[in-house]
Chain A
């Protein structure tokens, strides 16, 4: 009985660690690509001193900062995040395995959540902010459920 429980726990931890590692990779890559989007659009706009701050010790914030000419269109720089992550996440849809395709959808959903303030910058609308956040949240939860389902099915060898 004890051995059976132990095996179950081992299996649970093994799959959980795998799932968490995949998620960590996706979060880090999404955030990096998101910020790189701002970075590249900023450099195309001839902005200077562009920096990607992954974690600011003062406020634990993640942001991209730059010095731009006053006439620079900030909206285009804000759009950079969506323009960079969306095509990459959609490329996952060409993968053969369904679970791998879900990783792309997870990336897209996560980017919608982390790009909410960019959209608010552009449209100055709270409704859009919450709408985008909710859609992103639903996508993330749905993909997590689908990925877990697929991993569990694979783990049972069905």
Chain B
């Protein structure tokens, strides 16, 4: 007996399958390769942010500024200097203003991979951490951020800050190596 009611499905099983799998493949392919490009761009971004209370006032800042050509050529490691109060300066990268202290927004812009290195001698490590936490910087989030307040924390093989301050090539090289070790 022939059926008197037939309820057809508009796209058949094959068409539905092709449509859904095709959409998924196209969307996934585009998204996947876009995310790879994004990751590559991330790798070119700075991995160390140096936070200081005064730009131009600290030891490391002078070293970095004075010896910019000596700093790492490794593409994955770039250095930035920031002033929590009102300025942010990147070496080789334009100056950003963070007057509103929207560090998170800034963080998103520069997309740091890992570390905060602070050489603010006038404040204790804890005070700096609290200050950073207060403005919402994700100290405890992944990737792990590290706040270093004093050069001693870098374990500069017994070198003093004064030694480094003299800008001797070998000392700067040592500091650079320590910084790279910290960031990787």
Chain A residues proximal to chain B, CB less than 8 Å? 8, 12, 15-16, 19-20, 23-24, 26-28, 30-31, 34-35, 38, 42, 47, 49, 51, 54-55, 60-68, 70, 72, 74, 77-78, 81, 110, 113-118, 121, 133, 140-141, 144-145, 147-149, 151-152, 156, 158
Q: How far is the CB of A26 from chain B (nearest CB, A)?
A: 7
Known interface pairs A8-B36, A20-B21, A27-B16; A144-B5 also in contact (CB < 8 Å)? no
Which chain B positions have C-beta within 8 A of A117? 7-10
Output the residue of B16, B17, B36 with the most chain A CB within 10 A.
Answer: B16
Those of B74-99 within 8 Å (CB) of chain A = none
Q: A27-B16, A31-B13, A117-B10 are in contact. List 6 more A-B contacts (CB 8 A).
A: A12-B32, A19-B25, A65-B5, A68-B5, A141-B23, A148-B27
In the complex, which of the residues A20, A49, A158 contacts B25, with contact meaning CB atoms closer than 8 Å? A20
A144 touches B16 (CB 8 A): no
How many Å lie between the Cα of A8 and that of B35 in the bound state? 12
Chain B residues proximal to chain A, CB less than 8 Å? 1, 3-14, 16-17, 19-21, 23-25, 27-29, 31-32, 35-36, 39, 142
How many Å lie between the Cα of A81 and that of B8 in the bound state? 11
Q: How far is the CB of A100 from chain B (nearest CB, A)?
A: 16
How many Å lie between the Cα of A144 and that of B6 in the bound state? 31
B9 touches A47 (CB 8 A): no
B17 touches A65 (CB 8 A): no
Which chain A positions have C-beta within 8 A of B7? 38, 63-65, 77-78, 81, 117-118, 121
A145 touches B32 (CB 8 A): no
B13 touches A55 (CB 8 A): yes
How many Å lie between the Cα of A62 and that of B7 in the bound state? 9
Output the residue of A24, A65, A121 with the most chain B CB within 10 A.
Answer: A65
How many Å lie between the Cα of A121 and that of B4 in the bound state? 14
Known interface pairs A61-B8, A152-B32; A23-B13 also in contact (CB < 8 Å)? no
How many Å lie between the Cα of A82 and that of B146 in the bound state? 55
Which chain B positions have C-beta within 8 A of A118? 7
Residue of A nearest to B13 (CB): A62
How many Å lie between the Cα of A70 and that of B8 in the bound state? 19
How many Å lie between the Cα of A62 and that of B20 in the bound state? 16
How many Å lie between the Cα of A136 and that of B25 in the bound state? 18
How many Å lie between the Cα of A140 and that of B28 in the bound state? 14
Q: How far is the CB of A51 from chain B (nearest CB, A)?
A: 7
